Amino acid sequence: MARSFTHFLPLLLFACFAVIASIALVMTLSGERKPSELPSALIGKPVPPTELPSLYNPQAFVNIEAATSQPYLVNFFASWCAPCRAEAPALAILAKKIDIIGIAYKDKPQDSQRFLTDYGNPYTAIGSDNEGSAGLNWGVYGVPETYLISADGLIIKRHAGPIDGDILREELLPLIRSLQKQG
Amino acid sequence: MRFFQALILVLLANISVQTLPIPQAFAITAEEQLTDPALEARARDLSKQLRCLVCQNQSIDDSDADLAKDLRAEVRKQLLGGADDKTILSNLQEKYGDYVLLNPPVSLATIGLWATPILALLLGGGLIVYSRKRGLRTPAPSVPLPSASTDKELASEKAIHMRPIGATSLAVTASFCILIAGAIYWFGLGSPSLPSQPLSQRASEINLEARQVEAQLAEKQQAFAAAKDATMGTPENIGNWLELALAAAELGRVEEELNALRTALSLTDEDIGIKSMLAEALTRSADGQVIPEARQLIAEILAENGGEPRALFLSGLAAMEDGAYNRAVDNWRYLIEISPKDAPWVSVVRENLTEAAERAGIALEAAGIALEEDSETSPLPALSQESLSAAAEMSEAERLEMIEGMVANLRQRLDENPKDSEGWQRLARAYRVLNRPEEALEALGRASAAALNDFELQLAVLEQLMMAGKDRDTAPSQDKAKEVSVANIVLERAMALNAEHPELLFFAGHFARRDGDKDKARFYWTKLLDKIPASSETARLLRLELDKLAR
């Protein structure tokens, strides 16, 4: 008994490993597991203090620090970013339900302004992050990125990449609705 | 326990492989470097420990990505500020998470990762010790056996060795196979010493591809021009028009494709093949929406030939659009039934059919059985039909909202730049899809006003006006009056540019008739008749229409 057990133990261990590996592989292939999608380190933490010159009025400053009385979105965008164009309609819908603060990431102000004239301006305030330093503080690794902030200034969700219809309907809108009910 | 010896060999092999000197390509540029060599060395060292979050398997020291460059600059900035290595790493870890560190820290989440090798070694070692104590595996005696040992004893010892040898050799063979397969895979794909393929060095390859694409486009354009010339030369030849339609479709020039198909259709006696091509092109031009004109055509085709594949397919699409999923399932099932097994459209139809069945909430097999058993009664069980249609409506509303958002955007852009005639025409089409005829008419008026000196554009506007009129023949007469008044303005503008153009004469006659001014219509169409070959099909149709007017 003991002998056959010790002989088959390695095989057993290998079988366990093979099962785990194949589950991971199947989940990756079916799109359920997305290894390239990075979790934000900032979820549940307060927003990083951010003060940026306003896009349309460089003398004024856009401040993302103080807790507001209601939840809001922070959206990093740039005129050079094609997916940002793709998510413009989704942002237009969101703008009817929630305040959106835009941050023009590594973009010339005049380019950002032209982008907004062409594709619509869903933002309540826009900061100009010319150097990308605010992006570093928020852990942004590619535009567009969207953060949902609760009324007490905590980051609830980060979505990297353009917002499409599915993300809008199934993730963002329900979350926003529940946040707004709480508030 | 040779298996564990093999395992240890594998581990050793891994270690030696990882410590091999690996030729590195650096991404860092001269201007990024710090002047202080000691600080710069620290910066390089830190960069090698940080992951580029865009490339994800390169350090920021290796990566050419923009973000890697930013992170390198951030590291150097903090170094100049006097921060020590640990602080810099933890600062970045705070913002980007553990993932930014190439060496994962020991934490609750990563303990498994760190502990597994140790556990594996302990387990293996333990097993070896355990099995030795049990005497299952006596080592080869280093001391000669006492002479007292008999052949019998040796034989029994051999027997002990013999029995497990099947399982052991299997395990050893398997582990060697895995080892060799892993090595082959690693040398083929994973080796960091493989030459990199920087984008700049592949420029010639990329250029070649770009040139090929260009050549293809030029070819298509040539085919289009040739087809256009052919239709100019012999406008009564249907084949030429169909060729033109195909060439236009290749280039994605939908308006011209529609034009050609309409002309081809007018040359034949309502040929249903061409009709179905037209219906398909119309649907394509409306981004997959089966617009009323296309529906009309489909109905006509199916009335004549219930098995016309294109029309059946489009009819299914129209049903899907209306939320009548059961009808779509019926249509597509029938289409698959009557199609040859290897028909090119079967796979697409099957895909659509599956989706329709899903939406309708029925299992495909069940639908098939129901259809075969009893095709008289409604074959499909109404599975919570109410909730289904409610869900469909909701997402439809959201979709409509999205379209309306886009239309509003376009409108705003055009208000700022009203000289874009084609933009206004696009807007008019969108309004027509949204069933807002008043605004569509207004947009068409603006489209015409934006292109006062462009005859072709004025013609295009007139054509759209004509189609807008056809959309709704049941519309209130005041709509019609407005349509005609807009048309009259556009006609006047176009007349000022080229009063003798046949197409314009046709439109002028059409709108005059719509306005109820038969004399005027007759005047224009008679004039047009003089300009086209008397034997052509168009001329024949025109004479028919003129006869009707005279009555």
- pLDDT, one tens digit per residue, over B447-504 is 888 878 888 888 888 888 887 776 655 555 556 777 778 888 888 888 888 888 888 8
Under an 8 A CB cutoff, do B405 and A93 touch?
yes
pLDDT in tens, B425-441: 888 877 877 777 778 88
Most confident of A16-20, B198-202, B539-543: A16-20
Residues of chain A in contact with residue B74, where contact means CB-CB under 8 angstroms, are 136
Look at B96 and A119 and tell me if their CB atoms are within 8 Å.
no
* CA–CA distance, B311 with B276 (Å, rounded to integer): 6
Is the pLDDT reported for residue B160 higher than 60?
no
Residue B236 CB contacts under 8 Å (≥ 6 apart), including other chains: B267, B533, B535, B536, B537, B538
Whole-model pTM: value is: 0.42
pLDDT of residue A121: 92
pLDDT at B61: 87
Question: Where is B519: in which H helix or E strand?
Answer: helix B518-531
At residue A21, the pLDDT reads 92
Q: Judge whether B119 is closer than 8 Å to chain A, CB to CB.
A: no
Q: What is the pLDDT of residues A154-169, one digit of tens each?
A: 899 999 889 988 888 8
Q: Do B406 and A89 touch (CB under 8 A)?
A: yes
Whether residue A1 lies within 8 A of chain B, CB to CB, comes out as no
Summary count for chain B: helices (H), strands (E): 24, 0
Q: Which residue of chain A has the CA closest to B71?
A: A136
Contact A89 B71 (CB under 8 A): no
Which residues does chain B have within 8 Å of residue A47's beta carbon, measured at their own beta carbons?
Answer: none
Phi, psi of A158, deg, nearest 5: -125, 135
- At position B126, the amino acid (one-letter code) is G
**pLDDT value at residue A102:** 94
Taken in order A21, A22, A26, A29, is the CA torsion positive or negative?
positive
Confirm or reject contact between A38 and chain B (CB < 8 A).
yes
Query: What mean pLDDT do residues B31-52 have?
Result: 87
Q: In the prediction, which pLDDT does B4 show? A: 56
Does the distance separating the beta carbons of B70 and A132 come in below 8 Å? yes
Contact B136 A120 (CB under 8 A): no
Least confidently predicted of B315-324, B368-377, B529-538: B368-377
B345 close contact with A: CB closer than 8 A: no
* pLDDT number for residue B368: 46
pLDDT at B17 over 50: no
For B279-296, the pLDDT digits (tens) are 888 888 888 888 888 888
pLDDT digits (tens, 9 = 90+) for B443-452: 888 888 887 8
Comparing A126-130, A161-165, B28-32, B87-91, the range with the smallest average pLDDT is B28-32
Which residue on chain A is closest to B406 by alpha carbon?
A: A89
Q: Which residue has the higher pLDDT, B423 or B15?
A: B423
Tell me whether residues A141 and B53 touch, CB distance under 8 A.
yes
Supply A169's token pair: 């309907």
The pLDDT of residue A100? 93
Q: What is the pLDDT of residues A25-77, one digit of tens each?
A: 888 888 777 777 777 788 888 888 888 999 988 888 888 876 577 899 999 99
Comparing CA positions, the residue from A98, A104, A95, A83 lying closest to residue A149 is A98
Helix (H, G, I), strand (E, B) or coil at B151: helix
Does residue B382 surpass a pLDDT of 50?
no
- Convert B525-543 to b/e letters by CB count within 10 Å (16 or more is b): beebbeebeeeebbbeebe
For chain A, count helices (H), then strands (E): 7, 7
Tell me the chain A residues in contact with residue B398 when contact means C-beta distances shorter than 8 Å.
93, 165, 169
Highest mean pLDDT, choosing among A85-89, B378-382, B485-489:
A85-89
Higher pLDDT, B44 or B404: B44
